[in-house]
Amino acid sequence: MNGFNFPMSPDSASNFAGEYDAIFAVLTILTIVFTLLVAGLVIFFAFRYREGTKVDRSRPIYEHLPLELTWTIIPLLLGLVVFFAGAHLFVRMRTPPKDAMDIYVVGKQWMWHAQHAPSGVRENNSLHVPVGKPVRLTMISQDVIHAFFIPEFRIQYHVVPGRYTTQWFTATKAGVYHLFCNMYCGTQHSEMGGYVYAMEPQDYAKWLAEGGNDVKPMSPEQRGAAAYNRLGCGNCHTDKDTERAPTLYGLMGKTRKFTDGSSLVADEDYIRKSIVDPYAHITAGYQNTMSVYNTVDEEEILNLVAYIKSLGTSSEPKANPTLAAGKGLQTSGANYTGKPRFTDGAITYDHPKMAGPHGRNLAVGAISSEEKEANR
Amino acid sequence: MSSIAGNITDLPEDQERKHYLNDGTSLKSWLTTGDHKRIAILYLISISFFFLLGGIFASMIRIELTSPSGVLMESETYNKIFSGHGIVMIFLFLVPSIPAVFGNFALPLMIGARDLAFPRLNLLSWYTYMLGGLLILTGLILGGTDSGWTFYAPYSSMYSHGTVALTLTGIFVAGFSSIFTGINFIVTVHKMRAPGMTWFRLPLFVWAMYATSVIIILGTPVVAITLALIMVERVTGIGIFSPELGGDPVLFQHMFWFYSHPAVYIMILPSFGVISELIANFSRKRVFGYHFVAFSTLAIAGLGFLVWGHHMFVSSQSMYQSVVFSLISFLVAVPSAIKIFNWTATLYKGNIRLQTPMIYALCFLGLFTIGGLTGLFLASMGTDVHLTATYFVVAHFHYVMVGGALTGFLGALHYWWPKMTGRMYPDGIGKVNALLVFIGFTLTFMPQFIVGYMGMPRRYHYYYFAPEFQPYHIASSLGASVLALSFVIPGIYLTWSLFKGPKASANPWGAHGLEWETTSPPDSHNFHHIPVVTDEVYDFPGVEYAHPSHGKKKKKAKDAEGAPTSKETH
């Protein structure tokens, strides 16, 4: 469908897609044929036998066993054929080959986390796989039920808490494909997803060898934005003051008043202190509801401070955490030059119109692929 | 017509004639009535309100999805809106719609009874429904539920922040109203048929009501228990479904679908019954293969209980289990196919009057055929893997629920409206509007099949990462506005008809059936004398019965004529 940006079917990019599409086509033809048959007969009869027409209505039929058996048995047989075809495909989908490569997947509200088995390379909200090699996903959820769905591969399976589920596929075509969570899992269900990168084996090997690090060297601000996102700071500290927390936009250099009457000009030290010991100074008008982030290491705190400084001295948001994180995502294909199928913009979450609406922040867990850097 | 009914009172001007609508006009006389016809009207008003509410939610969803990154609301709100749409439409509109309104109104009339077996239980059913509806409404006002109408655990029991417990209580309570109606119908059909009204003289609508009632009383208690268990887990923290507490989330899905798949038949079987009535009466012809249609209804009711696992092919149930569920799902498709072909064959050599109810019936045939056949994509395990929980499923069940059940509801409304109100509506506008429903519906849901096949997951608020879906969503939303218009128009002309419409005769359609032998609107007690049935069902005068197999039957019937017996009654 190149050049004609109005696709009617998903790309076929796995070993199941061919058989799948064949069954789908047969069913589509059956549907169209039977619908036209019924619709044609209904319209023809309704027209021919409408009240007042002079047509032969003598000897009407009320029961006709051979006819009844005909339209019982033909649909039944056709149905059984489709049943066996569907069952065959399903059994194939449920029986992974022994030599399949393992990738472990954890789903949680609202992100995917994957670990490539032999190498230990990890990634979030994306999945890099080699073309031509069977891949078995072993999946579990940390909270509610999710579903790991790659439309272009025609595969989907629930990711259930408390038990491992598996599915497998062999990618057959290099490219960038959709990864969706397809089991309703809460507020940001629709944003729990990312992209699947099917890569030529040598590209995949290279990707693994580089530790999956397909992210360009990041500035402290970018790393800080990722950490900000991952720690869920933005849940409370949004771009304006909320009842839960003051905004951090324009914090740097501002005078803060505290509940004990004292005040301070916000500087790097104050920001660091507020992260590791938030109760030391509580801004006037707020409660001591923030958790203590004393497990964040100093390097990350430095990044966070750099990021919060970058939020500017004006209240005008300079860099939205989501958008800043998106920059990393744009470069995440740095050593893999696959283009998304439909539009060049599809892969970049940070396109102004396609970014999270209203410049919203992603909540806990919904982290960008860039965060894998921070996570490692 | 050879029934010895003698009920049509020949009062010269029935301005003063007492009928069920003016037999007591105070609010109290309505709220304490035991009359099945008045309770049907109460139900009609209440479900229309909830349909409007669900429709508003649907419009908001369609507006929201015209843009990949939303128009009106935040994700949390969107989730509550689509959940509200599902909960209101399914539990407060579709499940009670045809049985509680038209079953209540027409079933006793059709079998020649003065009322249902338990009039007070019937009234209690309405109050129970209203209480359930009120609880659900309160839940919506207090913030809404965001767990979808399916309430999958552990999301609903552990993670959702909405008013889940209140909503579940509402559904639990509303379930009892279905059970009461179901019990009432079963007893009424067994015990209160008029003399001569044998089982195989029952109109197919009555068969459908009977089968629906059986499903209701077998299935509803299961969902009530399941939802109650969710409440227990949510409120007390006793582990049932959540693995964190030692429960099993897949168990919930088994219990939920054990009811909720048959619930699909609770919604569609009544519509089948309506369509049988409409096709037969507007073709002036006995339904082709009456026995096949009647028994296919029972077959669907029976097999419908054995297919719930086809909702769970990818939910980690055993592969072998899936194979069995898939096979039975293909089997249950056959009785539906039988019905479609029998209805089509009924038209052959008929004397077809293309009036409003019949247009709805013909639209139903087209829409339900597509709805049924696209079900095969989902019954087939391999194809279901990719399609499950995408917009393909959304389109499929809307074809069945809206294209099937709602079209049947509108057909029934236009068919029995003169009997219920004693007034006619403008048939021309009605016919055009029926076509508008068809067009709007097709425009709304056809694009959803394609976007679903492309991979658009259901319950997605944003799709800015997949902009290729947008054209289909815009097409669907445009269709939805046509569809919305086609629901507003009947509201206008039916209201007009209520006050200004021409008076309806006892049998404005020339239909066959006991309900058309009494006045429009009927007296409070339906019949002055209980009718004695001597003719076969859908036995239109002036129609030749030359077919050998029917001739034999006719002979048998003739033997029995004059001395109507209940030899076929069990």
CATH assignment at residue B439? 1.20.210.10
Chain B residue with CA closest to A75: the answer is B334
The CB-side HSE value for B423 (13 A sphere, CA atoms) comes to: 15
What amino acid occupies position A167? Q
**Is A188 in Cβ contact with B314 (below 8 Å)?**
no
> Tell me, what's the pLDDT at A73?
92
Q: Is A161 helix (H, G, I), strand (E, B) or coil?
A: strand
A181-227 tens-digit pLDDT: 999 998 889 989 889 999 999 999 888 887 775 444 466 777 788 88
Q: Do A79 and B333 touch (CB under 8 A)?
A: yes
Encode pLDDT of A154-173 as tens digits.
999 999 988 899 999 999 99
Distance between A210 CA and the closest CA of chain B, angstroms: 27
**Is A60 close to B543, i.e. CB distance below 8 A?**
yes
Q: Does B153 map to a domain? A: yes
Mean pLDDT across B543-551: 44
Which residues of chain B neighbour A344 with C-beta distances below 8 Å? none
**Looking at beta carbons, which residues of chain B come within 8 Å of A92?**
382
Q: What is the mean pLDDT of residues A307-311?
A: 83
Per the structure, how many domains does chain B have? Answer: 1
Nearest Cβ partner for B383 among A20, A50, A59? A20
Instruction: Give the residue numbers spanning the domain of A37.
Output: 12-42+63-95
Instruction: Based on the fold, state whether residues A133 and A244 are members of the same structural domain.
Output: no
Mark whether A21 and A89 lie in a shared domain. yes
Mean pLDDT confidence for A250-265: 84
- Domain membership flag for residue A49: no
- Looking at per-residue confidence, does A266 or B189 come out higher? B189
Q: What does the pLDDT read at residue A5?
A: 62
A232 and A358 housed in the same domain: yes
In chain A, which residues have their Cβ closer than 8 Å to the Cβ of B468?
A: 5, 7, 341-343, 346
Check CB contact under 8 Å for B385 and A93: yes
Same domain, yes or no: A360 and A276: yes
Task: Kindly report, residue by residue over A51-107, the tens digit of the pLDDT.
Answer: 888 888 888 888 888 988 998 999 999 999 999 999 999 999 999 999 999 999 989
Q: Chain B partners of A6 at a C-beta cutoff of 8 Å?
A: 471
Query: Do A239 and A341 lie in a common domain?
Result: yes
CATH of the domain at A143: 2.60.40.420
Contacts A343 to B, Cβ<8 Å: 467-468
Do residues A158 and A113 share a domain?
Answer: yes
* A67 contacts in chain B (CB < 8 Å): 345
pLDDT score for A348: 36
Residues A254 and A184 in one domain: no
pLDDT at B15: 54
Give this complex's ipTM.
Answer: 0.87
Provide mean pLDDT across the span B238-263.
Answer: 90
The phi, psi pair for B457, rounded to 5°, reads -70, 150
Residue B347 contacts A where some CB pair is shorter than 8 Å: yes
B68 and A CB contact within 8 Å: yes
Whether A136 and A102 have beta carbons less than 8 Å apart is answered as yes
Same domain for A252 and A319, yes or no, is: yes
Q: Indicate whether A250 and A308 sit together in one domain.
A: yes
* B244 to A79: CB separation less than 8 angstroms, yes or no: no
Question: Percentage of chain A with pLDDT > 70?
Answer: 78
Contacts of B347 in chain A (CB under 8 A): 41-42, 45-46, 49
CB-CB under 8 Å, B347 with A41: yes
Give contacts of A366 with chain B, Cβ < 8 Å. Answer: none
B273-288 b/e (C-beta count within 10 Å ≥ 16 → b): bbbbbbbbbbbbbbbb
In chain A, the residue whose alpha carbon lies closest to the alpha carbon of B369 is A35
Q: Given this model, what pLDDT does residue A158 score?
A: 95
Residue A235 and residue A311 in one domain: yes
Count of CB contacts below 8 A, A vs B? 320
In a domain, A189, yes or no: yes
**Is residue A166 a contact partner of residue A196, using CB atoms and an 8 Å limit?**
no
Confidence of residue B445 (pLDDT cuts 50, 70, 90): very high
Strand ranges inside chain A, DSSP E: 101-108, 111-116, 122-124, 126-130, 134-141, 146-150, 155-159, 165-170, 175-181, 193-199, 255-257, 263-265
Note the pLDDT of residue B538. 86
Q: Check CB contact under 8 Å for A190 and B459.
A: yes
pLDDT per residue as tens digits for the range B281-314: 999 988 998 988 888 988 998 898 999 999 999 9
pLDDT digits (tens, 9 = 90+) for A281-295: 888 888 777 877 767
**CA B523 – CA B74 distance, rounded (Å):** 53
Which member of A31, A75, A157 has the closest CB to residue B314?
A157
Q: Is residue B197 part of a domain?
A: yes
Rounded to 5 degrees, what are φ and ψ at B390?
Answer: -100, 180
Q: Is A47 within a domain?
A: no
Give the domain-ending residue among A209, A237, A268: A209
pTM: 0.80
For residue B484, what pLDDT band results from cuts at 50, 70 and 90? Answer: very high
